Amino acid sequence: MRIGLLTEGGYPYASGESHVWCDRLVRGLTGHDFELYALTTDAHQEAGRWLELPDHVRLVRSAPLWGDFPAEHHRTAGDRRGRAPGRRERRRFATHFADLVTAFTTAPPGAAKTPAGDLPAGPDGALENSVTRKADRFAAGLYGLAELARERGGLPALLHSEAAVRILEGACHSPRALPAAHGAQLNDLLAVAAQLELALRPLSLDWYGDRYTPGLGGVDLCHATSGGAAALPGLLAKRFFGTPLLVTECGVRLREHYLARAAAPLSAPVRALLAAFQGALAAETYAQAALITPGNTHARRWQERCGADRARLRTVYPGMDAAPFATVADAPADDSKTLVWVGTVEPAKDLVALLHAFAEIRRHEPEATLRIIGGPGPDPQAPGYLAHCRALAAQFFPDEAADAHTIGENPVSFEEIGSPDVPALEDAYASGAVVVLSSVTEGFPRSLVEAMFCGRATVSTDAGAVCEVIGGTGLVVPPRNPRALAAACCALLGDPDRRARLGAAARARALELFTVEQNIAAFRGIYLELISHAPAHRADSRARDAHGVPQPFAHPAESHVPGHWATTGAATRTTAPADRTPSWAVPEAEQPAAVPVTAGARGGPGERPVSGRRDGRRDRDETVMRQAWSA
C-alpha cells in the first residue's frame, strides 16, 4: 500500500514530539511504502538536517509556507509564469475567491459563537441550513481555486493582486460580515491576503500528478498528521482522485492557531478573519475525512465542536517508548519527601503556583524538597519566566543549614537533563517520591506518562487530557489552586504505601495504553480498514460497473504484480458454482482464452504460453473428478 504522509512544520525536518511520532509510525509500518509531503514553516527549519529515512520511504517532497512561492513548485508544465493572467482566468478567480471569502467572513443571524468561530449551538433548522450553505460555498470556492491552479496556474499572483484585496474588502464591509471585520483597514486587508496566500499555497503545488506519475494521484491513502494546511493536499487528492483521507491530531491544529494568534501582535480584524478562515478549513477537513483519530478525548471534544462527525472519530493515544524507563525501580516504600517536576519551563506550566504550594507543604513536611528539572521552552517569555521563578524560590526559601557548621542549601533546586545529578530523563523520575504537574493549559501530558512508566505516584492539575491519562492512578486538583495542590502532595508524602499502590497501577495503565506498539498496531488496522472500503482507483474505467458506480476490489491482487496473469481452466476447477455445476463442465467456448503468463516475478525468459488444449493426463484427472462429484 502506498501511503502519502502529509506534515506541516514537522517530519522529516524538525525535531520534537511530532517528528518522533511520525518517525516511529513510518519505521513501525514496514509493510507499506511511504511518500512524505512536508510543508516547512520557516527557513531555519528547511535548512536543518533530517535523520536517515528507512528504505520504504520512496519519495520526499517539500514546499515552504513562508516567503515567495518558489518557481520549481508550479504544478503544471503549461503554467506560463512570465505571462499575466488573462481575462477569463481573472474572472474565474474572482468568482471562486468571492465564494471562499464570503463563506468565512459572514455569520448566520443569531448563531452562537463556538471554538470554530460561527458554528450553530442550537437545533434551529434555519440556522443549520444557513451554516450548511456557508460550508458548501466555502468548499465551492476552495476547490474552484484548486481547479484553476491545476489547469492554468498563477494562483499565488492572483491572491496577491489588487482584485483579491477588493473582494476581501467588499466581504468585510457587507452587512452580514463578522463584527470585528467591519473595522478592517487597508493594512489589515493586505495582511489577511498575504496570510491566505500562504495558507492556500498547497493548492498551487506540483504534488498531485496522476496514477501513473509520482505524486498524490498515485497513493492509496493520504494520512495528514494535523489539520490546517497539511490536510489541504489530502483534500485535493480526494477531490481529484477519490483517495481516502485520514486525519490525525494529537493536538487540535485549530486550537493551536487560536493560541498562537492570541500571542501575536495582530489587530482585532486580522485575528478574527484568520480565525474564521481556519475554522472553516477545519470544518471542511473534518467533513471530507474518512476517519479522524484524535490523540485524546480533550482533542476529540474540540473536533466535535468544530463539526466533526462523531461516527468518524476514533481516539488513538500517541505511542511513547517505554524501554528507557523499564530499568527504573519501583518507588521505595520509605519516608522519602522529594517532589519532582519535569518539563519545559514556560508560563503555561504555572511554576509560580507550584512554588506557592511548596511553601504550604514545607509547613507540614519540613524535610520536603522540590526538584524542578527542565530548561526554557520555545515560548519567548520562557527565559524571563525561569529567572522569575528562581528569584521567587530564593525569596520563599532562604538557604537553610542544619547547624552552625554546615553550608545552607535551598530546598528548591533548578536542574536540567544531562547535568551530573540528572544524566538522563529516567533518572529525573527515579529521584522523586511524587511527580507533580502544575499546568494551567496542557494537551497530552507526556511527562505524566513517563512518570507512570517509572511507577511513580502523581499529583496533577486538571488541564487538557490529564484526567484521561491518569484514570484514577493519581491525584488531580483544580488548576491555579496552590492550597489544593499542597494538600494532595502532603497526602502522598505522608503515606508511602498509598504511593506504592498508585505507582504500580499507573505503570500497568501506561504499559497497556500509551506504548509505541499499541499505537502502531492501531494504525496498521486503520490503514487496512480504510483501504478495504475504498473503491478501486477512479482513473481506471474498469473500476466502475455499467451504471458508473465504483466497485471495491475491482481487480484481483495479482493485477498489481508485474507480468501478465490469467485465470486458466485448471485454476477455476478449485471451486464449484452455486448450482453445483463443476467448472470442467463449462463449454470450452466459454472458458477463458489462453494468454501468456509469467513464471518469474519480473517476467523475461520465464514467460510461457498456457494451452487450453487438454492432453490425456488431464482427461484422466477430470474423469476421476467427475466420478467423485457424481458420488
Which of 514, 532, 555 is where one domain is finished? 514
Strands laid side by side in the 338-342 sheet: 412-415, 369-373, 338-342, 434-437, 457-461, 475-477
pLDDT band for position 592 (cuts 50, 70, 90) = very low
Asked, for residue 579, whether it belongs to a domain, the answer is: yes
Query: Cβ-count burial of 220 within 10 angstroms (0-12 exposed, 13-18 middle, 19+ buried)?
Result: middle
609 CB-side CA count, 13 A: 6
* Arithmetic mean of pLDDT over the chain: 81
Instruction: Compute the residue count for the chain.
Output: 631
Which amino acid would we find at residue 268?
A: A
Cα gap 492→436, rounded to integer Å: 11
Beta bridge partners of 544: 550
* Top-confidence residue, 561 or 449: 449
Task: Flag whether 166 is in a domain.
Answer: no
Instruction: Name the strand (E) or helix (H) holding 619.
Output: helix 616-630
- How far is 251 from 222, CA to CA, in rounded Å? 19
Domain-terminating residue out of 514, 531, 550: 514
> Quick one: 490 and 574 in the same domain?
no
Residue 113: HSE in the Cβ half-sphere, 13 Å Cα cutoff = 7
Is 70 inside a domain boundary? Answer: no
The reply to whether 395 and 508 lie within a common domain is yes
Check if the beta carbon of residue 41 is closer than 8 Å to that of residue 11. no
Each residue's pLDDT tens digit, 171-219? 998 888 999 898 899 999 999 999 999 999 999 998 987 655 678 988 9
Q: Extract the C-alpha cell encoding 227.
A: 489539520
In Å, how far are 332, 354, 452, 507 from 449, measured between CA atoms?
Answer: 19, 20, 5, 9
What single DSSP character describes residue 189? H
Give the C-alpha separation, 501 to 506, whole Å.
9
* Closest listed residue to residue 280, CA positions, set 129, 170, 126, 116: 116
**SS3 sequence of 284-330:** HHHHHCCEEEECCHHHHHHHHHCCCCHHHECCCCCCECCHHHCCCCC
Task: Tell me if 153 is assigned to some domain.
Answer: no
Q: Are residues 410 and 483 in the same domain?
A: yes
- pTM for this model (two decimals): 0.78
Q: Which domain holds residue 385?
A: 327-514
Residue 142 three-state SS: helix
The number of angstroms, rounded, from the C-alpha of 308 to the middle of its chain's C-alpha atoms is 15
* Contact call for residues 37 and 7 (beta carbons, < 8 A): yes
How do residues 378-387 score in pLDDT, each as one tens digit?
788 899 999 9
**Domain identity same for 501 and 585:** no
The pLDDT value given to residue 595: 38
The reply to whether 526 falls in a domain is: no
Last residue of a domain, one of 487, 514, 541: 514
Within 8 A by CB and 6+ apart from 388, the residues are 352
Residue 404 is assigned to a structural domain of this protein? yes
User: Strand 33-40 to strand 2-8: parallel, antiparallel, or no bridges (unpaired)?
Assistant: parallel
69 vs 92, higher pLDDT: 92
**Distance (Å, rounded) from C-alpha 48 to C-alpha 51?**
10
Q: What is the pLDDT of residue 611?
A: 39
Cα–Cα distances (Å) from 96 to 158, 399, 539, in that order, read: 12, 68, 26
Do 484 and 585 reside in the same domain of the chain?
Answer: no
Reported as a single tens digit per residue, the pLDDT across 501-555 is 999 999 999 999 999 999 999 999 999 999 888 766 544 444 555 566 655 555 5
Are residues 579 and 505 located together in one domain of the fold?
no
Q: Which DSSP symbol is given to 593? A: P
pLDDT band at 329 (very low <50, low <70, confident <90, very high): confident
Q: Do 400 and 465 sit in the same domain of this protein?
A: yes
CATH of the domain at 506: 3.40.50.2000
Task: For residue 552, say if its preceding peptide bond is cis, omega within 30 degrees of 0.
Answer: no
Same domain, 584 and 510: no
What is the tally of structural domains in the chain?
2
- Output the pLDDT for position 404: 59
Share of the chain above pLDDT 70, in %: 76
Q: Which pLDDT value is given to residue 544?
A: 55
The answer to whether 436 and 354 have CB atoms below 8 angstroms apart is: yes
Domain co-membership, 354 together with 480: yes
Do 458 and 579 belong to one domain? Answer: no
Split at pLDDT 50, 70, 90, the class of 600 is very low
The answer to whether residue 232 is domain-embedded is no
- What are the two backbone dihedrals, phi and then psi, of residue 28, each rounded to the nearest 5 degrees? -80, -30
DSSP 219: -
Q: H-helix or E-strand containing 492?
A: helix 482-493
What stretch of H or E contains 179? none
Both 461 and 572 in a single domain?
no
The DSSP secondary-structure symbol of 535 reads: P
Dist CA 545 CA 529 (whole Å): 23
Whether 508 and 570 share a structural domain:
no
User: Does residue 358 fall inside a structural domain?
Assistant: yes
The closest alpha carbon to 480, from 462, 465, 459, 457, belongs to 462
